[in-house]
Structure 1
Amino acid sequence: MRFSLTLLFITIFCSKLWANFAPPVNDELANAINISNTTGFCSEDAAYNNLEATSSSMYNKPMSWMAIGKDVWFKFTATKYDVNISVSGAVNSGSPNTLINPLIALYTFETGSTGISELIGSSSTSSNVTSFYKGALIPGQVYYVRVSATNDATGNFKFCLDNYFPPMQPGQDCGTVSILCSKETFTQLNVTGTGSNRNESAGTCLGTESNSAWYMFKASKAGSFTFVITPTVTTNDIDWIFYDLGINGDCSMVNASNAIRCAAGSGVTCTPSYYKTGLSMTETDLTEASGCPAGQNGFVKYVDLVEGHTYAILIDNFSSGNNGFTLEFGGDAD
């Protein structure tokens, strides 16, 4: 009897000891904790941790991380276009959160595919609170959030997630287009969100918009027309569409059949890489597809403007980060 009681105590002690050293339930992507309330969700302090977590080495290190560290996983189904995610660690000496220098990465995963795909967003860290932003999410798509920390740090943390529609800004849709009155070079300081309709570009080389700005003008003089778009951050991927809307054209004429030029190549990730894009007097192609097809360089053939026709330019920053671009015009048309 004494032996049985001793064995029972040992079993209970070992079970508690094992529980203390067991990895978190969301240690692997397959067991990611689902966040069902995606509107302004915030957990309690110290609700989650990566204590005794293992490194998910079967998936590549995120591009901005020095190492994988002790990572854990969350997931959510997008219902809106933009998401802000934050992980709060040890913000001060009295905080119940203990994680130091949290890291966040975002992914999509398709069953039967080759694995997960990292989505590049913008991230910032201050006082052991890391925030991550990504726009152009697809409603209905499941996204996976990877949380770790630098230097293999482990600890408790608070997890927040807000999936939302970005506020409207002038020029994000054709209906709020900016009118160009001259060929003067200008800089759009930032471009964030897609307005109320991210599918105005449907059927073109662009597909759907990510962070868009619309411009419109009427040709007062026929002739050749060129432009160069230079992102303010040269690692950003700029895409665009040029529409001929005809005599007295307006936004009702925006469709794929009136998209006479289009460029959506992923120049900043191609070899050789490029970041400038536009219309050129020396190119002969009329469109450039997404990705890195051979021979693409970001530029397509110039346009011969017709006097009295209305033209529209949709410029889309595929990259996140609220960055803009400079637009410079050329040619002898006005």
Structure 2
Amino acid sequence: MRYSLILFLLVIQNVSAFGKFTPPINDELINAINITNTSAYCSGDAEFNNLEATPSNYNKSLNWSAVGKDVWYKFTASKFDVNISVSGKIDANSTNTLIGPLVALYSYDPASNSIAEQPGTLATSNNVISLYKGALTVGQVYYIRVSAANDATGTFKLCIDNYFPPIQPGQDCGTFSVLCTKETFTQLNVTGSGANNHESAGTCLGTESNSAWYMFKASVPGDFTFVITPTVTTNDIDWVFYDLGLNGDCSKINAANAIRCASGSGVTCSPSYYKTGLSMTETDLTEALGCPAGQNGFVKYVELQQDHVYAILIDNFSGGIMVLP
């Protein structure tokens, strides 16, 4: 009886006087949930929802067919670019339940109680939608509006990455982008293989499809990991990690200097995977093409040597957007 009584009390706390479930606290813009840490922030799976939400009085987003059951979030820009993603039910095992998520970004003028949409670049795949927007004003508050097609409701995961973008990388090593910090960033439109699509010859990758080159110099020794996350979760990301030694340059790019490599076809494997990178828990140094048993997209971490120059070739076999910390 005690358990039943507690359960009953928990239920009635979420019911209004009219017998209906109450809308979420962030049902309206004025009560938007504030996200304070937006450097590679991600909520938990199914942490947020639009269950029992009501349509806002503001017009629908430019890319939406209707307002739907929308909810609101906000953040204060500390850097120039932002990538926002909303993940709904991506597979049968997902704890997220939202189908057809939608997202939009706004600025708000409290004096006139008006909002101005900030159009960006949208990408959708398998109940995940991402929005990229550049040229944010540092210190300004921006509002994120989440809804779904066909008035759908459910639970979802929200990710926000507010970052300073690196210089656009080239498709060949000679036009690499220098990485100066360990901050996460989003790279858009990874298309084309450059003038030489065989710079990865002899590695697990072989031929490049849609490549981006990055380079950095280790200021101190230490264990190094990274994760590459395609925003379009059906994209197949491959990569090669090179140790170019002291004062290395692109003339030293060859298979002998490729100390880590991953080119598995995770999105077509069973079980499937789409994230890839270096991990502190893996022991293999390379992952081959296709779906060999035991591959999961991650290989062993690298022990960086001070003052050595390292290069990362990232190849998006599918083309699209990726996130790299």
TM normalised by structure 1 equals 0.47
Larger Rg: 1
TM normalised by structure 2 equals 0.48
